Chains A and B, each alone.
Chain A
Amino acid sequence: AQSVSQHNHHVILSEAASLELGCNYSYGGTVNLFWYVQYPGQHLQLLLKYFSGDPLVKGIKGFEAEFIKSKFSFNLRKPSVQWSDTAEYFCAVNAYGSGNTGKLIFGQGTTLQVKP
């Protein structure tokens, strides 16, 4: 069965610190990879996605993620966080195969708290 593991459940950083959130998935076939973010009081929204091509993808608000196929990883990074980045971050996967339409497998989420 497919699964997604996020390494950190709660991360606290000061503004301007660098961020890296780990994400590993288990699935041997072709996958699409996503990072979603949920700001306080708001709905889940897409931060970035990887389907194919350049394994380094850039998203909104200065975030980027690198897909390393050999490590089954899709880590999220940002060089310098801001207080407004305080949110919950979810890594998600969907796998190519029948019966997977509209279905994302989510990690448990990482709560990021940025101190001003």
Chain B
Amino acid sequence: KAGVTQTPRYLIKTRGQQVTLSCSPISGHRSVSWYQQTPGQGLQFLFEYFSETQRNKGNFPGRFSGRQFSNSRSEMNVSTLELGDSALYLCASSRTGELDEKLFFGSGTQLSVL
């Protein structure tokens, strides 16, 4: 079956703009998590959605937001982009998001903020 699909693969934006990233989970998976990966900070948890509800949130400013649709697809939005938002944004899915479940990761969206 198809894996986790993230679009677009690459994005270039300028400071102050906003951006929306998309994630389609594996069929049947209802939990979607988002992570930010940077060389300095590594992988950091942004938030997790299940059945269109945000269940869990990391320590990121309110400029980072997300949503999940009824088909489990998820989007994350970053408003008023800053240079420090340049990163690889990874989406991961699992059936329920429970602690003993393995996460399936997408290839990520590489965001560059100029």
A46 to B103, CA, bound (A): 8
Give A96's nearest chain B residue, CB to CB: B99
| Count, chain A residues at interface, CB 8 A | 26
- Mostly helix, strand, loop or mixed at chain B's interface? strand
A-B contact count (CB 8 A): 69
A44 to B92, CA, bound (A): 9
B102 touches A49 (CB 8 A): yes
- Measured between beta carbons, the chain B residues less than 8 angstroms from A83 are none
Quote the shortest CB–CB distance from B96 to chain A (angstroms): 8
Contact of B31 among A95, A99, A102, A109 (CB under 8 A): A102
Contact code string A15-47 (vs B, CB < 8 Å = 1, else 0): 000000000000000001010100000111110
Q: Which of the 9-residue segments B10-18, B75-83, B104-112 touches chain A?
A: B104-112
B55 touches A102 (CB 8 A): yes
Query: What 3 A-B pairs have minimum CB-CB distances, sorted nearest first?
Result: A102-B48, A102-B97, A106-B43
Instruction: Show the binding face of B for A, using Cβ within 8 Å.
Output: 3-4, 31-33, 35, 42-45, 48, 50, 55-56, 58, 90, 92, 94, 96-100, 102-103, 105-108
